[in-house]
Amino acid sequence: IVKFFAGDYIRTNIFEKNTLSGSALFNIKGELLGLNTIDSEGKVTAIPITTIRAFTNF
Protein backbone atom coordinates (compact mmCIF):
# COMPACT_ATOMS: atom_id res chain seq x y z
CA ILE A 1 0.00 0.00 0.00
CA VAL A 2 2.78 2.49 0.86
CA LYS A 3 4.69 3.36 -2.31
CA PHE A 4 7.32 5.59 -0.71
CA PHE A 5 8.08 7.96 2.13
CA ALA A 6 8.98 11.57 1.37
CA GLY A 7 9.94 14.18 3.94
CA ASP A 8 6.53 15.78 4.24
CA TYR A 9 4.17 13.07 2.96
CA ILE A 10 3.65 9.34 2.48
CA ARG A 11 2.53 8.25 -1.00
CA THR A 12 0.21 5.24 -1.20
CA ASN A 13 -1.18 3.29 -4.14
CA ILE A 14 -4.76 3.82 -2.93
CA PHE A 15 -7.33 5.72 -4.99
CA GLU A 16 -10.50 6.84 -3.25
CA LYS A 17 -13.29 9.38 -3.61
CA ASN A 18 -13.64 10.85 -0.12
CA THR A 19 -14.15 8.15 2.53
CA LEU A 20 -10.52 7.92 3.68
CA SER A 21 -9.80 11.61 4.16
CA GLY A 22 -8.74 12.22 7.74
CA SER A 23 -8.55 8.53 8.60
CA ALA A 24 -5.46 6.89 10.05
CA LEU A 25 -2.80 5.01 8.07
CA PHE A 26 -1.29 2.07 9.98
CA ASN A 27 1.54 -0.32 9.21
CA ILE A 28 1.23 -4.11 9.49
CA LYS A 29 2.27 -3.93 13.18
CA GLY A 30 -0.61 -1.56 13.95
CA GLU A 31 1.65 1.45 14.40
CA LEU A 32 0.27 4.80 13.29
CA LEU A 33 2.10 6.15 10.22
CA GLY A 34 -0.01 9.23 9.51
CA LEU A 35 -3.36 10.75 8.58
CA ASN A 36 -4.76 10.29 5.08
CA THR A 37 -5.57 13.08 2.67
CA ILE A 38 -7.07 12.82 -0.83
CA ASP A 39 -6.10 15.04 -3.75
CA SER A 40 -8.39 16.13 -6.59
CA GLU A 41 -7.48 13.02 -8.63
CA GLY A 42 -8.41 10.65 -5.80
CA LYS A 43 -4.82 9.75 -4.89
CA VAL A 44 -4.42 9.06 -1.19
CA THR A 45 -1.36 10.46 0.54
CA ALA A 46 -0.74 10.71 4.26
CA ILE A 47 0.73 13.35 6.50
CA PRO A 48 3.38 11.54 8.57
CA ILE A 49 2.73 11.26 12.29
CA THR A 50 6.16 12.82 12.92
CA THR A 51 5.02 15.96 11.09
CA ILE A 52 1.77 16.05 13.07
CA ARG A 53 3.61 15.59 16.37
CA ALA A 54 6.06 18.37 15.51
CA PHE A 55 3.19 20.69 14.57
CA THR A 56 1.27 19.99 17.78
CA ASN A 57 4.39 19.88 20.01
CA PHE A 58 3.71 16.27 21.15
Q: What is the CATH number of the domain that holds 42?
A: 2.40.10.10
Q: In which domain, by residue range, is 45 found?
A: 2-56
The pLDDT of residue 1: 77
Q: How many domains does the chain have?
A: 1
In 3D space, the residue among 56, 11, 3, 57 whose CA is nearest the CA of residue 38 turns out to be 11
46 neighbors 31 (Cβ within 8 angstroms): no
C-alpha torsion angle, residues 38, 31, 3, 43 (rounded to 10)? -10
Mean pLDDT by 10-residue block, N- to C-terminus, for the chain (58 residues)? 86 84 91 92 92 92
Give the model's pLDDT for residue 3: 85
**Residue 19 pLDDT:** 78
What pLDDT shows up at residue 36? 93
